[in-house]
Amino acid sequence: VMQRTRHSTVGLLAVSVVGMMAMRPVSGFMYTGSARLFHSSSRFIAPRISSLGKARPLVAAKGFNVFNNRPASSQTCAPTMVASDPTTIEFTAPIFDKYEIVKEDMVEEYGAKVVLFKHKKTGAEVMSVSVPDENKVFGITFRTPPNDSTGVPHILEHSVLCGSRKYPLKEPFVELLKGSMNTFLNAFTYPDRTCYPVASQNLKDFYNLINVYLDSVLHPTLTPWTLKQEGWHYEVEGKDEPLTYKGVVFNEMKGVYSSPDAVHGRACQQALFPDNTYGVDSGGDPTVIPELTFDKFSGFHTKFYHPSNSRIYFYGDDDVPARLELLESFLEEFEALPSAPKESQVEWQKKRSEPWELTQTYPAGADGKPLMTVNWLINDKTLEPQEELALDVLDDLLMGTPVAPLYKTLRESGLGESVLSDGLETVLQQATYSVGMKGINDVEKIPEIEEKVLETLKEIASKGFEKSAIEASLNSLEFRLREFNTGGFPRGLSFMLGSLSSWLYDRDPMEPLRFEKPLAELRARLDKGEPVFQDLINKYLIENGHRVTVKTLPDTKLEEEIIAKEKAELAAVRSKLSAEEIDNLVEETKLLKERQLAEDPPEKLALIPSLTMDDLDKEGRNIPIEIGEEKGVKVLKHDLPTNGIVYADVGLDMRVVPFDLLPLMPLFCRCLTEMGTSDLDDIALSRFIQTHTGGVYTSTSTTQKYGAGNKVPEQEVVSNLFVRGKATYAKAGEMLEVMHKVLTDTNFDNKAKFLQMVLETKARMEGGMVGSGHSYAAGRIGARYQIADAVSEHMSGLSSYGFIKGLAKEVEEDWGSVLNKLLQIRDLLVDRRNLLVNLSAEQKGFDQIQSKLTEYVSAMPLRTDEVKVQDWAAEMHKFEGKGEGFIVPTQVNYVGKGGPMFAPGEETSGSYGVVARYLRTTWLWDKVRVVGGAYGAMNVYNPSSGMFKYVSYRDPNLEQTLDTYDGTGEFLRETAKEMSQTTLANAIIGMIGDMDSPMSPDQKGFTSMDRYLTGMTDEIRQQRREQVLGTTAKDFEAFADRLDSVAKDGTIAVIGSKAALEEANKKLGLDLTQLL
- Concatenated DSSP letters of 693-747: SS-EEEEEEEEEPPPGGGBPPPP-EEEEEEEEEEEEGGGHHHHHHHHHHHHH-B-
**460, containing H or E segment:** helix 446-463
Q: 230 catalytic, yes or no?
A: yes
Q: Are 982 and 604 in contact (CB under 8 A)?
A: no
Q: What is the dihedral of CA 296, 299, 300, 306, to 10 degrees?
A: 180
- What angle in degrees, to the nearest 10, is found between the helix axes of 294-304 and 152-159? 80
Q: What is the dihedral of CA 571, 572, 575, 577, to 10 degrees?
A: -100
Euclidean distance between CA atoms 837 and 850, whole angstroms = 12
What proportions of the chain, in percent to the nearest 5, are helix, strand and coil?
45, 20, 35
**Which residues, in sequence order, are CB contacts of 443 under 8 Å at separation 6+?**
370, 551, 553
> Of 1021, 1016, 1043, nearest to 703 (Cα)?
1016
Euclidean distance between CA atoms 437 and 421, whole angstroms = 8
Q: 157 catalytic, yes or no?
A: yes
Q: Where are the alpha helices (DSSP H) in 601-652?
A: 602-605
**578, containing H or E segment:** none
**Which residues, in sequence order, are CB contacts of 561 under 8 Å at separation 6+?**
none
Helices (H) and strands (E) in the chain, counts: 38, 30
557: exposed, middle or buried (Cβ count in 10 Å: 0-12, 13-18, 19+): exposed
Q: Are 202 and 76 in contact (CB under 8 A)?
A: yes
Euclidean distance between CA atoms 482 and 59, whole angstroms = 10
**Which residues, in sequence order, are CB contacts of 426 under 8 Å at separation 6+?**
41, 42, 43, 383, 388, 391, 392, 501
3-state class (DSSP) for residue 779: helix
> Of 316, 65, 325, nearest to 197 (Cα)?
316
Neighbours of 530 (CB within 10 A): 12
Euclidean distance between CA atoms 322 and 622, whole angstroms = 32
> Of 730, 737, 731, 701, nearest to 718 (Cα)?
701
Give the residues across from 938 on adjacent strands.
951
- Concatenated DSSP letters of 238-307: STTSPPEEE-HHHHHHHHHTT-HHHHHHHHHHHHH-TTSGGGS-TT--TTTGGG--HHHHHHHHHHH-SG
> Of 1039, 1048, 1052, 1019, nearest to 946 (Cα)?
1039
Q: Where are the alpha helices (DSSP H) in 192-242?
A: 203-218, 224-226
Euclidean distance between CA atoms 688 and 960, whole angstroms = 55
Which amino acid belongs to residue 481?
L
816: exposed, middle or buried (Cβ count in 10 Å: 0-12, 13-18, 19+): exposed
Euclidean distance between CA atoms 638 and 502, whole angstroms = 39
- SS3 sequence of 13-81: CCEEECCHHHCCCCCCCCCEECEEECCCCCCCCCCCCCCCCCCCCCCCCCCCCCCCCCCHHHCCCCCCC
Largest distance between two CA atoms of the chain? 85
Catalytic residue, chosen from 230, 417, 559, 842, is: 230
CA–CA–CA angle 285, 288, 289 (5° rounding): 80
Catalytic residue, chosen from 157, 388, 425, 884, is: 157
Euclidean distance between CA atoms 8 and 759, whole angstroms = 13
Q: Are 640 and 1004 in contact (CB under 8 A)?
A: yes
Q: Enumerate the active-site residues.
A: 157, 230
